Amino acid sequence: MNSCKKIFSRIMLLAAVAVWGMPAAVAADDVPVVKASDFTYVFGPVCKQASFICDGHMVCLSNDGHAKAYPLFSASDSTEFDLASAAKRPHCNVANLVQAGGHNYLYTTEWSGQRRCFVEQIGYDRAMRRWHTRLVQTFSYDMPQAVSGAGYADWIVDADARKLYLHVYKEDGKDNDINSSAIVIMEFRLPKPDAGNVTFKEQDILRRTEIPMILGTQDKEIYKGKMYITAGNKTTKRFNWEGLRRLVIFDIKTFRVEKIVDLSAYFDEPEGIDFWRGTLPDGSKGVHALITYRRNTFKVSWP
């Protein structure tokens, strides 16, 4: 978990289709630290779970699928609505927006229970100031726990490569996001939104790897061949999260962790992450990594 360079041994699975990567020993002294000066305040939405950017808004989700959308970049004049998949609790730990065929498709995760992925067509009517969303597809999986893992699950979409990833804690049980021994990541082909509901089986796995344990993972986003995994929480009497609030960068090409960055300079739980191209209120231009916390969004620079 705590090394920028990891060596994975590989063995072949499913007639050389799926790859199992077993992590080698991990050093604990090579985690770059983001300083407080690397957090640039953008604005202050209220975000309880994942967030995503759609039709000029930062949309912040709650565990029950309720959404609150803020015009970029203002915390006022927000609008609220429910996803079509609302009340599928616990819900929305990850939210990925994909544009295809002139439509926006939102992929959200039911991270416990049946651990499904809900695909919804979503959009904003500016004249009516109203959001609309409808459920068009559901993903699930039917695999042995020895293959798929058993703990909390998240689905992540790579729209450019037309791939879908399943991120699962290896063991089930109480607080498996803290007590599991590893994380399983599996790769599948991304079905088209009009393909109907899909249940993935073991033979559908293209690649599979296990990476060292990451405590308390939150939202995940794929950008230019890298999966960005936010993780951690704010320190409480029960658990000290200092040094464990992190941004884990997983390279899709090599299928291994490339870098882990310490985000503990900001005390709160990193709930959402998205990438946005444009000009921020501070005048900075380009592509920005925006991490949404419970009541703030920051542009974050990392080593």
- Residue 16: per-residue pLDDT: 27
CA-to-CA separations, 185 to 65, 92, 249, 288, in angstroms, rounded: 25, 19, 13, 26
Q: Which residues contact 156 (CB under 8 A, 6 or more apart)?
A: 94, 96, 164, 165, 166, 167, 220, 221, 222, 227
Q: What is the mean pLDDT of the chain?
A: 89
* Each residue's pLDDT tens digit, 52-87: 999 999 999 999 999 999 999 999 999 999 999 998
8-300 classified as CATH 3.30.70: no
Q: What is the model's pTM?
A: 0.90
Q: Which residue has the higher pLDDT, 6 or 173?
A: 173
Q: Which residues contact 140 (CB under 8 A, 6 or more apart)?
A: 114, 115, 116, 117, 197, 198, 199, 200
Over range 184-202, report the average pLDDT.
98
- Residue 128: per-residue pLDDT: 93
My answer on whether omega of the bond before 90 falls inside 30° of 0, hence cis, is yes
Residue 30 banded pLDDT, cuts 50, 70, 90: confident
* Each residue's pLDDT tens digit, 224-281: 999 999 999 999 998 999 999 999 999 999 999 999 999 999 999 999 999 999 999 9
- Whether pLDDT at 22 is above 90: no
- Whether pLDDT at 9 is above 70: no
Over range 190-195, report the average pLDDT.
97
Q: Which residues contact 130 (CB under 8 A, 6 or more apart)?
A: 79, 81, 124
Domain borders along the chain are 8-300
Longest CA pairwise span in the chain (Å): 57
- Residue 3: per-residue pLDDT: 35
CA-to-CA separations, 201 to 2, 121, 133, 193, 197, in angstroms, rounded: 32, 25, 28, 19, 13
